[in-house]
Amino acid sequence: MQLIKQFRFLLFMLILLISSSSSVFARDLVQEAEAILQSRQDVVESVEKSFGQLKTPFDILEKWLQFTDEKSEFVNKARSVLNDLTPEFILALRPDIRQSVKDSTGVTQPLEVLQTWLKWNKTEDSSFVTMAEYAVRKSSSTSSENDSDDQEVDVDTVEDIPESPVNEEEQSEAGASVIGLEQMFNSFAIKDLPRPAKDSGWGIHWFPTLGSSKEVVDKYLAECEKMGIRWIVFLNVAEQISEANDYLIDEMKKKNMMPVLRLYSLTVPLDWEKVAQVVRHNVKKGVFYFQIYNEPNLKCEWPNGVIDLPAFVDLWLQGAKVILDAGGFPAFAPLCGAGEDGRSDLEFLNACLDLLEQKSELKILESCWISIHNQTWQPVDYVEDANGFKKFQFYNRIISKRLGQSRPIIATEGGFQTGGNKQMYDRHMRYNIDYYNYMLKAEPYYFAQCNWIIGNDVGGGDKGMWEDATWFTPDGPLPIVAALKKMEKKPRAR
C-alpha cells in the first residue's frame, strides 16, 4: 500500500512538472509572437486598420501573411511560429490534457481533444489557452475548407443535386449578423464570407445612376423585396462619398439585402487616398463587396479609346490593394464577352493572370472575388461556349487551375434581355426564372446572379440610355416582375 501511495505521489509530481514546464514554453511562444509584432508596429496598424482588433498575436500574423509579398527574416519567424501551432504540437506539451480527455470521453483525435478540453476549462487563463484556442480555430477552418472543396459541385451534374433542407430561422439570424459587418471577417475562405439573410443568390443591378432619390429607393427596394431579390449592385463615384447611396445602403440593410458597390470610373489612375476614404466609409455603412473598373476589354472604358491590358493590370492591382487595406473585399473587374481587342474574355482573363504571375502578384486573387458579366440569350443549360448563363463555370476552371482553389464569383450584370422587343417578354420571364431557380442549388463558389437592369427612365437615368434592358419601364413592369412576386421564396441549398 505504501508503495502505491509513493507511486501516485511521483506520478502527480511528474504531471505537475510537465504542466508547469509546458506553460513556461507556451508563454515563451506567445511572447515570441508579441515580440515579432513589437518590432513591426506597421504590421499591427495595417491589419487592425483593415480588420479591426483581432483576438491574438497569432491572428494578426496570420492575416498579414495572407496579403504580404515581403521576403524577410521577419516573415520567416512569423511563419515558423504559426506553423508550430497545431493541435498535435500543443498536446505534446500537455500530455495530461490528452490523457484526461481520453479517460473521460474516449476522444483521441488531437483537434477534438483540444476542443473538448477548451469547453471544460473554466479556470485556466494562460498563454497555453491562447495557443490552444488559436490552434483550434486554425485547424477547424482548414478542415471545413477541405470538406467544402471535397464536396464541390460537378459542373456537369449540378441540375441533379437535390435541394437540402435549410433552417430559415437560423440562416436569418446568421445573415442579420453579417449584414451589419460590425467587425471584418478574419478569412476570405468561401465558407466564411458574408451572405444576406435567407440568401437565394437572386440579385439585380440597380439604376445606372450615381445616386437615387429617397422616393426611388423606397419604391423600388420595396419591389425588389416582393420579388425576393437579396443582392443589389449599385454605382458610386470612385472618389466621392455619396449621401444618396448612404440612404440606399441603410434601406438595403433594413431589408437584409446584400449591397455590392461598383466604384465607378473609366480605366484611369485614381486618387487612391480618396478611393480609400470611400471604401472605409462604406465598410462602416455595411458594404463588404467592392468592384473597381469595368470591362477593360472595351474601348469605351478607356479615355482615349485604346485598350491597354498591362496598364489595366497595374491599375487594378493598385485598386485591389487599396480596397483590401481599407477593409473591403475587391473584385477582379468584369470583362465583356465580346471584347474589342481581338481576344475573347477568357483569353483576356488568361493574359491578365499571366501578367499577375510574372509580377509575383497572382496570390492577391486569393483575397478577391471575381465579377463576371453573363448577359445571354441562351437557355440555362447552354454550355457550348462561355457566352451563356454558365459563364461562371468557365471562369472557375481558369481561376481554380491557377490558384488551386475556387474564388467567389458574382454576376454583376447578367441575365436575358429583350433588346426592347415586346415579343421577347415571355422568354425574358422564363429564362430569367430558370437562372434564378438554378441559383437555389448552384455551386458553392457562385454567390449571386445580379441581372441587368432594374430600370432606367423611371429611376432618373439618362433618357432611353438602357431602356431596352429594363425590368421597370414608363409603361409598367415586364412580366418577370409579377412572376417573381408569385414564386415561393426560399433560401439556396448550402
Name the burial class of residue 347, with classes exposed (0-12), middle (13-18) and buried (19+) by CB atoms within 10 angstroms of its CB.
middle
Fill in the amino acid letter for 133.
Answer: E
Check the CA dihedral 290-296-298-302 and report its sign. positive
For the chain, which residues make up each domain, given as ranges? Answer: 21-140, 202-486
Alpha-carbon distance of 291 to 269, in angstroms, equals 15
Residue 106: partners with Cβ closer than 8 Å, 6 or more residues away: none
Do strands 231-237 and 258-264 pair parallel, antiparallel, or not at all (unpaired)? parallel
Lowest mean per-residue pLDDT among 130-134, 262-266, 427-431 = 130-134
pLDDT at position 97: 84
Lowest mean per-residue pLDDT among 187-201, 251-265, 309-323, 429-443 = 187-201
Do strands 476-477 and 472-473 pair parallel, antiparallel, or not at all (unpaired)? antiparallel
Mean pLDDT computed over 343-367: 96
pLDDT at position 52: 65
Check the CA dihedral 322-348-415-265 and report its sign. positive
pLDDT at position 36: 83
Return the H-helix or E-strand segment holding 164. none
Residue 177: partners with Cβ closer than 8 Å, 6 or more residues away: none
Alpha-carbon distance of 331 to 348, in angstroms, equals 16
| Percent of the chain scoring above 90 in pLDDT | 57
- Among 27, 15, 161, 168, which Cα is nearest to 97's? 15
Indicate the fold that domain 202-486 takes in CATH.
TIM Barrel (3.20.20)
The CA dihedral of 417, 254, 195, 371, to the nearest 10 degrees, is 40
pLDDT at position 121: 66
Alpha-carbon distance of 302 to 162, in angstroms, equals 45
pLDDT at position 382: 92
Name the burial class of residue 259, with classes exposed (0-12), middle (13-18) and buried (19+) by CB atoms within 10 angstroms of its CB.
buried
Residue 325 grid coordinates? 487595406
Q: Say what the pTM is.
A: 0.65
The answer to whether 207 and 454 are in contact (CB under 8 A) is yes
Residue 136 grid coordinates? 483550434
Lowest mean per-residue pLDDT among 125-139, 354-368, 420-434, 442-456 = 125-139
φ, ψ dihedrals at 414, nearest 5°: -160, -175
Q: Which long-range contacts link 178-187 to residues 24+ away (Cβ below 8 Å)? A: 179/253, 179/256, 179/258, 179/286, 180/253, 180/286, 181/283, 181/286, 181/287, 181/288, 183/51, 183/52, 184/50, 184/51, 184/52, 184/283, 184/327, 185/51, 185/288, 186/51, 186/54, 186/59, 186/63, 187/141
Q: For residue range 11-62, list pLDDT tens digits in order.
A: 444 444 444 444 434 446 677 878 888 888 888 877 776 566 676 788 788 7
Q: For residue range 460-494, list pLDDT tens digits in order.
A: 888 888 889 999 999 999 999 999 999 999 999 87
